[in-house]
Amino acid sequence: MEPHENTGHPRRWAILGVLVISLLVVVLDNTILNVALRTLADPVHGLGATQGELEWSINSYTLVFAGLLFTFGVLGDRSGRRRFLLIGLVLFGLSSLLSAYAQSPGQLIAARALMGVGGAAIMPVTLSIISNVFDPRERGRAIGVWAGAVGLAVAIGPILGGALLEHYWWGSVFLINVPVVAVGVVLVALLVPESRDPSPGRVDLLGVLLSVVGLVALTYGIIDGGEHGFDRPVVWAAVGGGLAVLAWFVLHELRSDHPSLDVRLFRVPRFAAPVAMVGLIFFAAMGVMFFSSFYLQLVRDYSPLQTGLLFLPFAGAQLIFAPRSAAMVRRYGGRAVSVVGLVLTVAALGAFVFVDATTPIWVVLVFFFLQGAGMANIMPPATESIMSALPREKAGVGSAVSNTVRQVAGALGVAVLGSVLSAVYRADVAAAVDRLPAPAREAATESVSGAYAAAGQLGPAGPQLIAAANDAFVSAMHWAAAFATVVAALGILVVLRWMPGRGAADPVAPSVGEPELAGTA
C-alpha cells in the first residue's frame, strides 16, 4: 500500500453527518428532559410526579442504556452495524411517542426505559462506523466532530425544551424526537454502508449475560441508593451482587477461548488510562450539572427557557474546542491535551464551592464556559486513544466500553453527589422546618423543590421557608461540588501516571493485532 493512500470510505464525511444526526436524538432527549422536570411535577400542567418519580424518569433510561451498551456494541459488530443503528432509531422514535402521550408517571418511566434500549443500540455503533469508514489518520478529526455534536445537542436541548414548554404541553419535549428519527432512518438507509466483524467466531453468551446482569444490578443499586439512601440492605445487596457478577465476568473472560471482551486490554495504558479518566470526569461533571439545574430554576428563579440559555456557554465551548482538539493532540500529544482539559474542568467544578444565591450570573456563566472547554479537550483524545487501541473489526467493543463507563459513572455521580446534597440539605433545613405542620415539614425536608411547594401553602410564612431552603441548598451544593472536584482531580493523577505521552502510543499498535488484545482466541 502506498504510504499516503487513504483507506477511508469515499462518502465518509457524508456518513459522519448522518451519524451526527443519529447521535443528536439520543443526547437531545436527556438535555431536554432536564429542563422539563419542574413542569412534570406540576399536577395541573404535567403528571404530578413526585421527586422519586422524577428521578426514575431519568434513571430508568440510564439503567437500561448502561446495562445494554456493552452487549449491543458486541452484537452490532457481529450482526451488522447499520442494521443495529436502524433498529435503534426506530425503537427510539416509537418510545418517544409513548413518552409524549404517557398518562401517568409510571407509564413515562416505562417508556423511558424502552428509549434506553433504542439509545443503547444507537450510541456504540456510531463510533464503530466512524472507525470503519475513516482512515486512521483522519479518525481523530472525525471523532472531534462527533464529540462536537454532543456539544451541539447540549446547546440545542435545553433551549428547545424551554421554548416548547412555554408554548406547548409537556409531551412536546418527547415528540420532537420523532421527525429527527425519521430523517435519520432515511439517511442511514441511503448512505451508511453495512459493516461487521469479518471473523466473529462464536458468541460468548455467558459473558454477554454476565455483563448485562452485573451492570444492571450495580447501576440499580447506585440509583436506588441515591434516591432512598445507602443505609438499607437492598442497596448493598444490589451493589455487592453487581460487583460479584462483574468479577465473575472478568474471570470468565480471562478463561474463555472466544471472549466478548478480552479484559487483558486493560493492561494496555493507551486503553485503560483514558477509560478511567472518562469515568472519573463524568462522575464529577454529571453530578454538578444535575444540581446546577435546580440551582438556576429554584434558587435563582429562572424559567426553563432562561435556564437553557444559561447553559449555552458550556455547550458553546464544546462546539468551539472539541473539533480542534484533534489538531492539538497531533501537535502536543494526547496526555498534554487531556491534562489541560482536566485542569480547566477541575477549576470550574471547584468554583461552585464559592457560588451562592447572590453570585453575579455572569460569573456562573464563566464557570460553565471553562467546564465546557475543559471537557471538550478530554473526550476526543480519550476516545481516540481507546478506539485506536483496537483493530477496526473490534471497534464496537471499544465504543461500548467507553460509553458504558461514561453512563455508569454519570449515574454514580448523580446518585452519590445527590446523596451528599440531600444529607447536608436535610441537616441544615431541619431547624427551620421543625415547627411547620407535618405535611409541609415532610415536603420541605425531602428536597428544595418540596420546600418551594410547601411555601406556597403557608401564606406569610412562605418567604421565610424559601430563604431557609435556599441557604440549606447552597450549603449542600458547596459540599457536593467539593467532593466532585476531588474525584475529578484524581483523573489528572491517572493521566500523568499511566496515559502514554507524545510518541509513546505508537509502539502499542503492533500488539493490538495479537490474539490477547484483539478479543479473539
Q: What is the pLDDT of residues 201-238, one digit of tens each?
A: 566 778 778 877 887 787 778 767 766 667 788 888 99
Mean pLDDT taken over the chain: 78
Q: What pTM, to 2 d.p., does this model score?
A: 0.74
Q: What is the pLDDT of residues 6-18, one digit of tens each?
A: 566 667 788 888 8
Does residue 1 carry a pLDDT above 60? no
- Cβ partners under 8 Å of residue 103, min gap 6: none
3-class SS of residue 501? coil
Does residue 71 carry a pLDDT above 80? no
Of the ranges 128-142, 174-188, 394-408, 498-512, which is most confident? Answer: 174-188
Does residue 366 carry a pLDDT above 90? yes
Does residue 510 carry a pLDDT above 50? no
State the Cα–Cα distance between residues 464 and 434, nearest whole angstrom. 13
- Burial of residue 329 (CB within 10 Å: 0-12, 13-18, 19+) is buried
pLDDT of residue 170: 84
pLDDT of residue 342: 92
pLDDT of residue 202: 66
Does residue 454 carry a pLDDT above 60? yes
Residues in the chain: 521
263 vs 288 pLDDT, higher one: 288
Closest CA to 359 of 432, 290, 295: 295
Number of C-beta neighbours around residue 469 at 10 A: 27
State the Cα–Cα distance between residues 426 and 436, nearest whole angstrom. 15
- Distances in Å between the alpha carbon of 392 and those of 54, 130, 388? 40, 10, 8
Q: What is the pLDDT of residues 476-495, one digit of tens each?
A: 889 999 999 999 999 899 88
160 vs 359 pLDDT, higher one: 359
Could you tell me if residue 519 is left (phi over 0), alpha (psi between -120 and 50 degrees) or otherwise beta?
A: left
Share of the chain above pLDDT 90, in %: 10
State the Cα–Cα distance between residues 352 and 420, nearest whole angstrom. 15
Cell triple for residue 373? 472547554
pLDDT of residue 483: 92
DSSP for 250-304, written as a single string: HHHHHH-SS-SS-GGGGGSHHHHHHHHHHHHHHHHHHHHHHHHHHIIIIIS---H
- Burial of residue 426 (CB within 10 Å: 0-12, 13-18, 19+) is middle
Does residue 94 carry a pLDDT above 90? yes
Closest CA to 84 of 34, 60, 118: 118
pLDDT of residue 248: 93
107, 220 Cβ separation under 8 angstroms: no
State the Cα–Cα distance between residues 99 and 105, nearest whole angstrom. 10
pLDDT of residue 346: 93
Confidence of residue 151 (pLDDT cuts 50, 70, 90): low
Could you tell me if residue 90 is left (phi over 0), alpha (psi between -120 and 50 degrees) or otherwise beta?
A: alpha
Cell triple for residue 121? 443500540
